[in-house]
Amino acid sequence: MNALTFDLFTQANTLNIDPVDAALHSQGVVLLVLVVLMLMSVMSWFIIGARAWALVQMRRDVVVFRRRFDACEQVLTSAEQLQAHVALPHFKLLVALLKESASYPEGIEPELSSLERALNRASEPLVAELESGLTLLGSIASSAPFIGLFGTVWGIMLAFGSLSDSGSVLQTVAPHIAEALVATAVGLFAAIPAVIGYNSLTRIVRHLVTDLDGFGLELINRVARERQQG
């Protein structure tokens, strides 16, 4: 072991290994790992960009929607005044509640439990829509480092497996080890933005879901009050 270590250090200055060149010349399993990781990286950046743009725009629209909704005197007639926001989950929740309320004849008050069930049925797909893409992004964030580590372990196994056929230790082992370590680096390159993006997008979604829940409770109270007032 000491002889191998000494040989590695004495020959280290004779090699100039470029990580990019090592990645381009990788073969077999290591090459497959690098391709998979790069595809995962591209996919994660696409999800981050698309979802961030959609969620930021939605948060901005929700502020406008809530301001206009609060200005409406009657919830039961507010849908027509808020038609510009039909794509918002808040508007869909409003429509679902108005439909449930309209199913009761005049003079019969809808039960609060019935309104709550209607809101729950409507909100579940809306929350799933808000969380779209986050599961895949979280999977990329958690699995990319391990896929890169697998490529590293495989490359090191190949490196030491080739020692028996060569008299020059470093010149034989170094390229394989370089390929192996590049796999780990690419794995981290794919995982780190995915982790940051996942946490940031989850925080935005959580804020929107909380606002949606609060809006649902406000809807129930206002609809019940307006029905009682006739």
Q: Tell me the average pLDDT across 129-135.
A: 89
User: Percent of the chain at pLDDT above 90?
Assistant: 21
Average pLDDT, rounded, for the chain: 77
pLDDT tens profile 143-181: 999 998 888 888 777 767 666 555 555 566 666 677 777
Determine contact, residues 114/100, Cβ cutoff 8 Å: yes
Regarding predicted confidence, which is higher, 137 or 181?
Answer: 137
Nearest Cα neighbor of 198 from 33, 55, 61 is 55
pLDDT of residue 173: 64
Long-range CB pairs of 109-112 (<8 Å, 24+ gap) are 109/224, 109/227, 109/228, 110/223, 110/224, 110/227, 112/220, 112/224
What 3 state SS string does the chain have?
A: CHHHHHHHHHHHHHCCCCHHHHHHCCCHHHHHHHHHHHHHHHHHHHHHHHHHHHHHHHHHHHHHHHHHHHHCCCHHHCCHHHHHHCCCHHHHHHHHHHHHHHCCCCCCCCCHHHHHHHHHHHHHHHHHHHCCCHHHHHHHHHHHHHHHHHHHHHHHHHHHHCHHHCCCHHHHHHHHHHHHHHHHHHHHHHHHHHHHHHHHHHHHHHHHHHHHHHHHHHHHHHHHHHHHHC
Q: How many residues does the chain have?
A: 230
pLDDT tens profile 61-114: 888 888 888 887 777 677 777 777 777 888 888 777 777 666 666 555 566 677
Confidence of residue 11 (pLDDT cuts 50, 70, 90): very low
Q: 């200005």: which residue's tokens?
A: 71
| Integer angstrom CA distances of residue 67 from 85, 146, 170, 186, 216 | 12, 47, 69, 46, 15
Gap between the Cα atoms of 183 and 177, Å rounded: 10
Determine contact, residues 184/158, Cβ cutoff 8 Å: no
Longest Cα–Cα distance of the chain, Å, equals 96
The number of beta carbons lying within 10 Å of the beta carbon of residue 200 is 14
Per-range mean pLDDT, top range of 10-24, 45-59, 122-136, 147-161: 45-59
pLDDT of residue 122: 80
